Structure 1
């Protein structure tokens, strides 16, 4: 059968084509003679241009024309446009008539050719169906063969991997005298990966082997855990690492480490709970049975002592358990920090820890601290017995905490490893017992303040404690210190509370001080008010001395804590007798001021040969003897005692002031004759005797005594000898300058004379000025003297003038 001819289209030429010689006439090209399109005119027209817009709306156009009132003109304009378009279309059809006619003939020829196309297509479809029937059988056979081959390959692969798994399983399960746990774990990991990656589940033999492998893995985990526990207990990091390597090879390092950390946390929390189990403590104290533990958490009557001992024993065991838990976590962390993955050299710690997370020891310690804080807070509110035991025995509790922290720090202080505890972690543990610390400090302060309230009741101002009561107070303070002596931080806290107690003592003592005229009188016998002030002074001095002695055995920081309070005690002690000492000093100074009523300018030997002391000196001696017998004998310690007291210091100051005051006014005496110098020297000897016997040993007064001893021979030196005399170094420059006035002419007035002041007024001014200011006053008198001498035409000055200028010049240079 011959194949049908291929269908094709025959476009027969028309008569027009024969005339023109072409099947299709080419479209005429536009020329400049073509009429212009009316659309161009429409585009420039403001009304007709809207018809060219794609969004033109007849309704909108009509509405706009009607609303503008130009509907008629718009309609006429549109009619003109329509006529224009029709003329243009007619002209275009006529101009392109030959072309349109040729296209019409071509369409008729194409229609005739397409009529034969359906029969040809049906023939083509029949041939394609025949070809498909010939090819389907080989294709089905090929697909079936490919499927069989794929099944055979998959089966062979399963058999191969199953065989390999069985061989690995036999190696894992084969017993050996000393199995390598890490290698066995590695085999298990390899078997597990093979089983999961190759999807060997469902094969009976393989599943049976996997059950044996999983049982072996459980045994490996148990043995690894035992190795780790043994390594931690014996501090053998190699054993710890062997156990961890088993878990790493099993692919379970992180869960295993988490489990070990959780075990440490649980052990610490459990030890705290067991230690503070009040029921167990009560039973240990003999309080078992019905009603063994009362509602307040207090053991039955008679069992408190045993229960307290049991509580402390449990706390000791708790500290041991906490140490073991933290040490175990630290050893685990240390091993993970040291060991690296063989191929990647990454630390094993990085397998279980991410940067920014708390370390293993920090997690364990935080859990322990939280458990400890929670339990202590619970028993503080729920058990009055535990609260009392831990409050009274807080130093012991604090010592346990300190020892625990010290042991952990010492045992984990290994070079190249991180310590188990951070400073913040230690502070958090110490903070857990602060609730008992506050109660302990409050109890300590309460005991001491109650005792002070008993010996210094506010309701009875005249009540003064006895010496025995003050001694017991000091003993109680010492007992409070001794309890915490070995605990640096707690010692400072207790000292702060003792400081408050000392301030309370000073406040109560200050309230008891008598300040009326009876406390200041020095002419009569000692009054009850003065005796009370004496007792207060001595009591406070005893407190100051003995507490200071205790502090000398403590660290320097202890003195810094109590120094302010002891300073207040010292100040109140001084205040209790300051007014009396000031009154005695004023009386002695008033006696010395009477020196200026004596005539030291008389000439002749009558006054010089008189062996009796001056009247003012006799009165001073009487006052000194009276002060010694009535007042100082009751304030100063016995001669056998060499201890320095507050009163001893005040008497020394008074004696030094008396000597200095005497020298000052002795230098102001003017005129001073030779006989007057002898009397003055005798008065100085009497003064030395009166002060030394009744006030204070003059040999121990230092500079004031040296000045007194130097002033006596200075009186008898010539002016020429004074300039180079070594005695001047023991005398203040003001004393030498004032004394030289007595050797100068009358017209060389002293500042006392120049300013018309009394000796008392001038002495008060001298007390408030320094040597440089005193020299300025002296220099003014020297300038006046120089001016007078020059006005008279004197060619020479008094012999004392250059010496006074020299002393003043040296003083000015020394103060620069």
Structure 2
């Protein structure tokens, strides 16, 4: 342990104070004492400096504190600390420069062979060069940068805690609590920025490594910063010594992200070559697998920091959107692509192939997101883009389903060609239902089964089935004339209709309220008007308007059907009902038909109305009252 001599230090300070007040030059005894004091002070300063060096080497707080306190008493603390910062900074700069020196990383024996341009460092093995680069840089950050920062942090800790009440210290213009570690870190960050940029500018191989493998560079600096954060003060209210990772690595992030986005976008473009003659070919699953592998790799290496993962995820989202856009551009939107009469044509097969490859790609993307365990925010960025794939498949399905539905509606419309005024029903299936059953089964197996996303197909078919049920109920209640045997036939049609649409929906209960309406209306086909009016499901499961249209079949020919009352065809009425889903509008239309009947009876001076008239009249009033109360609620 170095013994500190304090008396000369005090004498030196007294002497300095005397010199400030009085000119004592020329007094021999004082000059001799001054020489002695300076000599002793120089010895003490040298010993104090050695104490600080040893203390920093061993990270010994007590030794550093002792050395700093001596320097304070000598009035040399500011100079000593500045000298120490310069020394450590120079050491770090020298190490950083050497770590990025191509002559160090690529010795002559490992450079390219004959024909190499003199003076140019060309790695014979790029992979080995990069391994050495990252190993050397990691060592520099750990052994030089972190060590130097740790030592400066210790000095700052000493200055702040041991000498916080001293007014004698002013290092680099900072008063009160010292922030030399912050200044030092900024200086080191500038040094690393300078030499990293110089290295990238001086060698294309270095540039490719720093930009192309930026996540590795970032990870090394994140690891450094994680260690540096352990040096931050733990007491509440103190500012962090090392508040940020620094700016040096950010210089390479933009280049990396640009390269990354071009990499994935170019991979997508190559899968959809333009200008080729003949029928365009969708990408194979093997090509999609290669793209998925590339995307997974880009996301994986970005996981070192979410600040990097987020922009990479946005790049991936652009690639997903581009894939879907390219697929959409291949689609055929002509009428032949939506026909449901003949066998599938090349246009339809192409559309199905587009839908399937987009579905496969998007499904694989969901697996990537799930397997990498991305944060909700990052996963959301990608999955929002994946949703465009589902939209594209729906865009392909919708026109096809619309064609299927048009065909089904045309078939259902022929219910009015059936004879329901028969004297005897033999139990045979109605012709239109046999046709519907055949068509539905063929449409599903021929046009819908080839789609791989059967869940989406099933959900879409639910909508088609719902629409078909609504159309059937509408036309079934409009059938006239309807004999007692005809009611038996129509009742049987309800059950056959369920079988006919089952290929669209294996569980008809999934149709919800509409299916309940279908099942509840069936027994009312053969029920009396009074039984219909007293049904507990009326106004709840079965709309009043639907029950009233059914009751028209009990009335005389003088009571016009709703479409007849306004001079429409049944098709026109069906179109009107599609555009007027409000129950009150339909009840007003039915009321108009009843008023025509009333006017006819009055014009003929008949004494009474048909027995179904008051029932219909009563149900219209109840329906209007019910719809009014629902609107108010």
Q: Deviations over 1:324-350 (max 9, x none)?
A: 333444443344333456xxx567777
Equivalent-residue separation in structure 1 for 2:289 and 2:170 (angstroms) = 65
For 1:195 and 1:291, the matched residues in 2 are separated by 73
Q: Are the aligned partners of 2:112 and 2:122 in contact in 1 as well (CA < 8 Å)?
A: no
Distance 2:217 2:301 in 1: 12
- For 1:577 and 1:257, how far apart are their aligned partners in 2? 75
Mapping of 1:638-717 within 5 angstroms? 645-693=455-503, 696-717=506-527
Post-superposition offset of 1:209: 4.6
Residues 1:513 and 2:331 aligned together: yes
Question: How far off its partner does 1:240 sit?
Answer: 3.8
Corresponding residue for residue 366 of structure 2? 548
**Is 1:495 matched with 2:313?**
yes
| Aligned-partner Cα distance in 2 for 1:616–1:357 | 93
**Is 1:254 the equivalent of 2:78?**
yes
* Deviation, structure 1 residue 357: 12
What residue number does 1:469 align with? Answer: 287
SS for the counterpart of 1:635 is coil
After superposition, what is the alpha-carbon deviation per residue over 1:110-150, rounded to whole angstroms, capped at 9, x for unaligned? Answer: xxxxxxxxxxxxxxxxxxxxxxxxxxxxxxxxxxxxxxxxx
How many residues align? The count is 618
User: 1:206-221 alignment to 2 at 5 Å?
Assistant: 206-221=30-45
Q: Deviations over 1:631-680 (max 9, x none)?
A: 2232256xxxxxx5433333333233222332333334345444333323
Q: 1:420 aligns with which of 223, 241, 248?
A: 241
Relative to structure 1, is the Cα distance of residues 729 and 481 closer, same or farther in structure 2, using a 3 angstrom cutoff?
farther
Contact 1:514–1:576 (CA under 8 A) maintained in structure 2: no
Write the distance in 1 (CA, Å) between the matches of 2:622 and 2:455.
Answer: 43
The answer on 1:399 being equivalent to 2:208 is no
Write the distance in 1 (CA, Å) between the matches of 2:116 and 2:7.
57
CA RMSD of superposed structures (Å): 3.7
The alpha-carbon deviation at position 620 of structure 1 amounts to 1.0
- Partners of 1:215 and 1:802 lie apart in 2 by 123
Structure 1 residues 210, 285: closer, same or farther in 2, change over 3 A? farther
Q: C-alpha separation between the residues in 1 aligned to 2:457 and 2:514? A: 19
* CA-CA distance at 1:412 after TM superposition: 1.0
Match of 2:591 in 1: 782
2:4–2:44 contact (8 Å) kept in structure 1: no
Going from structure 1 to structure 2, the CA distance change for 1:496 and 1:245 (only over 3 Å counts) comes to: same
- Give TM-score, length-normalised by structure 2: 0.85
How far residue 731 of structure 1 moved from its aligned partner, in angstroms, is 4.3
Larger Rg over CA atoms: 1
Write out per-residue CA displacement over residues 487-544 of structure 1, whole angstroms, 9 at most, x where no aligned residue.
3122111111112212221222122112233312211111122111111111111122
Decide whether the 8 Å contact of 1:585 with 1:658 is kept in 2: yes
Q: Secondary structure at the match of 2:343?
A: coil
Q: Secondary structure at the match of 1:579?
A: helix
SS of the residue corresponding to residue 799 of structure 1 reads helix
1:369 CA displacement: 2.5
Contact 2:465 2:504 in 1 (8 A): no
Q: Which residue of 1 aligns with 2:48?
A: 224
Deviation (angstroms), 1:783: 6.8
- Which residue of 2 is the match for residue 597 of structure 1? 417
CA distance in 2, matches of 1:805, 1:186: 113
Shift of 1:312: 0.6
Deviations along 1:658-711, one digit per CA (max 9) or x if unpaired, are 223323333343454443333233222222222224664434444443333333
Structure 2 contact 321–385 (Cα < 8 Å) conserved = yes
Q: Which runs of 5+ in 2 are unaligned?
A: none
3-state SS of paired residue (1:544): helix
Q: Distance in 2 between matches of 1:281 and 1:338?
A: 43
Q: 1:760 aligns with which of 571, 589, 593?
A: 571
Distance 2:23 2:112 in 1: 62
Q: Contact 1:286–1:306 at 8 Å: present in 2 too?
A: no
**1:446 corresponds to 2:245:** no
Moved more, 671-680 or 582-591: 671-680
Q: What corresponds to 1:280 in structure 2?
A: 104
1: distance between equivalents of 2:487 and 2:57?
A: 96
Match of 2:138 in 1: 316
1:700–1:787 distance in 2 versus 1, CA, 3 Å = closer
Contact 1:703 1:730 in 2 (8 A): yes
Give 1:181-200 correspondences, 5 Å limit.
185-186=9-10, 188-194=12-18, 199-200=23-24
Q: 1:178 to 1:335 in 2, by over 3 A?
A: closer
Q: Which has the higher contact order (CA 8 A, sep 6+)?
A: 2
* Alignment partners' CA distance in 2, 1:356 and 1:742: 100
Q: Write the distance in 1 (CA, Å) between the matches of 2:230 and 2:223.
A: 10
Q: Residues 697 and 267 (structure 1 numbering): CA distance in 2 closer, same or farther, change over 3 Å?
A: farther
SS at match of 1:411: coil
CA contact (8 A) 1:182 1:242 kept: no
Q: Is the 8 A contact 2:577 2:586 kept in 1?
A: no
Task: Give the C-alpha shift of residue 246 in structure 1.
Answer: 1.8
Matched, 1:613 2:429: yes
CA distance in 2, matches of 1:612, 1:443: 71
C-alpha distance 221-441 of structure 1, shift in aligned 2 (>3 A): same
- Residue 746 to residue 289, structure 1, CA distance change in 2 (3 Å): closer
Residues 778, 256 of structure 1: CA spacing in aligned structure 2 closer, same or farther, 3 A cutoff? same
8 Å Cα contact 1:710/1:727 also seen in 2: no
Shift of 1:217: 2.6
In 1, the alpha carbon distance for the partners of 2:109 and 2:540 equals: 81
Whole-angstrom distance in 1 between the partners of 2:548 and 2:162 = 89
Deviation at 1:767, TM superposition (A): 3.2
Kindly provide the CA deviation profile for residues 48-79 of structure 1, in whole angstroms up to 9, marking residues without a partner as x.
xxxxxxxxxxxxxxxxxxxxxxxxxxxxxxxx
Inter-CA distance 289–571: structure 2 relative to 1 (3 Å threshold): closer
CA distance in 1, matches of 2:239, 2:173: 15
